[in-house]
Amino acid sequence: MRIRTRFLRTTLLAAAACVGISATAQAEQFVFATGSQGGSWYPLAGAIKAIVEKEHPDVTITVTPGGGMANIVGVATGRFPLAFANSISTVDGLEGRPPFREPIQNVCNLGVLYPQWFQILALDSANVNSVEDFRGKRLTTQQNGHTGEILTRSLLSAAGMSYSDLRSVSHVSYQDSVNEMKDGQADIFTLGTALPAGSVMDLASSRDIEFVPVSEEVFQKFKEENAAFQLRTAPAGSYPGVDKDAPAITYDTHLIAACDFSPRIVKAVLSAILDNLDTMATITNTMADLTAAEMATDIGVPMHPAAEEFYRERGAS
C-alpha cells in the first residue's frame, strides 16, 4: 500500500508539473503590435521576435501590423501587451487630449529607441516647395488614425487648410502610396517613420523627389500642442536626388507595454535590443549607437518597473 501511495503521489506531482509547464508556456504567448508594412516598426519587431524566441524557447511572439494611435489604445484595453508607439501620441493619451476620448491607463514606457521623422515628400514635377503649396494637389498618406495621417491633418490645419482644399487624398499603406507616386497618381506623400525609410528609398529609385521643408511658424504650432515635438534637419542626401537640407517635425519611437506585463519578457525584449544593436541598425541605422541611458530617457510616460530595474542593472540610472 505504501509503495502504491508513493507511486500515486509521484504521478500526481508529475501531472501537476506538466500542467504548470503548459500554463507557463501559454502565458508566454503574446502579440506584439507594430506599424504598417513598409515602415521600420514591422521589420524591427520581427528582428526582436527572432532574438527573443531563440534565447527563450518557451516564448512565442506574434508580430502584427498596427498604428501609433491604435497601438496605445490596444495596450490600454488589453488587446495585446506590447507595442511600438510614438512619444507624442502616448503623452496625449495619458492626458486624455484629442483624438483620445479620455485618459488612458495601464500603459508604461519600456524605452526610447530612435527619432521618428514626419516626412513630406513631393515629386519634383509637382512644384511643392512648402506646405502652403499643398492646395489643389493630390496627397497620399496613411490610413485614418495612424500617426502620420493625424500629423498630416495637423500640418494642413497649421497652414490654414484641410483635406477639402486638396484635389484628392488617398489613405493607404506605405507601399501603395509609393506605387501611386510612381504611377503619377499622387503629388505628395506624407508619412511618419525612420529616416531613411525603405519605402521612400524605393520611390526615389524611380522618381525624382524632394523633401518639403517645414517652416518655423508651422513647427511652433505643433510645439504648442505637444512639447514632445522637436525640429530636426533632414540632411541632403537622405534619399537619392535629395540635395538640400530640410527642417522636419520629429518625435520619438518608444516601446510600450501594459504596466503589469511579464517582467521576464520585458527584460528579454530590452536585452534583445541593447545586446544586438548591429542587427537593429540594419533596419534603422539611427539605433547603431543606442545606449541604455538614451533608452531610459524620461519622456513623460511612466516606466515599467521591470524596465526601471533593467536600466539600473545596466548602469543607466
113 close to 290: Cβ distance less than 8 angstroms? yes
Q: Phi and psi of 230, rounded to 5°?
A: -135, 150
- The confidence score (pLDDT) of residue 19 equals 39
User: Which residues are within 8 A (CB) of 290 and not within 5 positions of it... i.e. 6 or more apart?
Assistant: 113, 114, 273, 274, 277, 280
Q: Phi and psi of 242, rounded to 5°?
A: -85, 105
The whole domain housing 16 covers: 2-114+253-313
Amino acid at 208: D
Q: Are residues 87 and 63 in the same domain?
A: yes
38: left (phi over 0), alpha (psi -120 to 50) or beta: left
Give CA separation, 213 vs 82, 146, 195, 201, 249, in Å.
Answer: 34, 22, 15, 18, 9
177 close to 141: Cβ distance less than 8 angstroms? yes
Q: Are residues 126 and 243 in the same domain?
A: yes
Q: How many domains does the chain have?
A: 2
- The confidence score (pLDDT) of residue 224 equals 87
Q: Are residues 54 and 72 in the same domain?
A: yes
- Give the helix ranges, DSSP H, for the chain: 2-27, 41-55, 68-76, 87-95, 147-158, 174-182, 198-204, 216-225, 263-274, 277-281, 292-295, 305-313
Q: Are residues 76 and 166 in the same domain?
A: no
Instruction: Report the distance separating Cα 200 and Cα 179, nearest Å.
Output: 11
Instruction: Report the distance separating Cα 137 and Cα 167, nearest Å.
Output: 5
Residue 154: other Cβ atoms inside 10 A: 18
Q: Are residues 135 and 109 in the same domain?
A: no
Q: Are residues 155 and 213 in the same domain?
A: yes
pTM: 0.70
Q: Phi and psi of 253, rounded to 5°?
A: -85, 135
Q: Are residues 105 and 145 in the same domain?
A: no
Q: Are residues 166 and 186 in the same domain?
A: yes
End-to-end CA separation in angstroms for the chain: 60
Q: Phi and psi of 204, rounded to 5°?
A: -65, -20
- The confidence score (pLDDT) of residue 194 equals 84
- The confidence score (pLDDT) of residue 275 equals 98
- The confidence score (pLDDT) of residue 4 equals 43
Strand pairing of 230-234 and 246-257? Answer: antiparallel
Q: Among 252, 270, 291, which residue terminates a domain?
A: 252
Q: What is the pLDDT of residues 26-66, one digit of tens each?
A: 458 999 999 887 778 999 999 999 999 999 999 999 999 99
Give the CA count within 13 Å in the CB-facing half-sphere of 74: 23
Instruction: Report the distance separating Cα 180 and Cα 175, nearest Å.
Output: 9
Give the CA count within 13 Å in the CB-facing half-sphere of 198: 15
Q: Are residues 78 and 204 in the same domain?
A: no
248 close to 211: Cβ distance less than 8 angstroms? yes
Q: Among 252, 267, 295, which residue terminates a domain?
A: 252
Per-residue pLDDT of the chain (317 residues; tens, 9 = 90+): 444 444 334 443 444 444 343 334 445 899 999 988 777 899 999 999 999 999 999 999 999 999 888 999 999 999 999 999 999 899 999 999 888 999 999 999 999 999 889 999 999 999 999 999 999 999 999 998 888 999 999 999 999 999 999 999 999 999 999 999 999 999 999 999 888 888 999 999 999 999 999 999 999 999 888 877 889 999 999 999 999 999 999 999 999 999 999 999 999 999 999 999 999 999 988 899 999 999 998 888 999 999 999 999 999 96
Coil vs helix vs strand at 98: coil
Q: Among 252, 269, 293, which residue terminates a domain?
A: 252
- The confidence score (pLDDT) of residue 27 equals 52
Q: Are residues 244 and 184 in the same domain?
A: yes
Instruction: Report the distance separating Cα 294 and Cα 280, nearest Å.
Output: 15
Closest CA to 239 of 280, 278, 189: 189
Instruction: Report the distance separating Cα 233 and Cα 144, nearest Å.
Output: 27
CATH assignment of the domain containing 120 = 3.40.190.10
Q: Are residues 64 and 123 in the same domain?
A: no
Q: What is the pLDDT of residues 227-254, one digit of tens each?
A: 778 899 999 999 999 999 999 999 999 9
Q: Are residues 257 and 247 in the same domain?
A: no
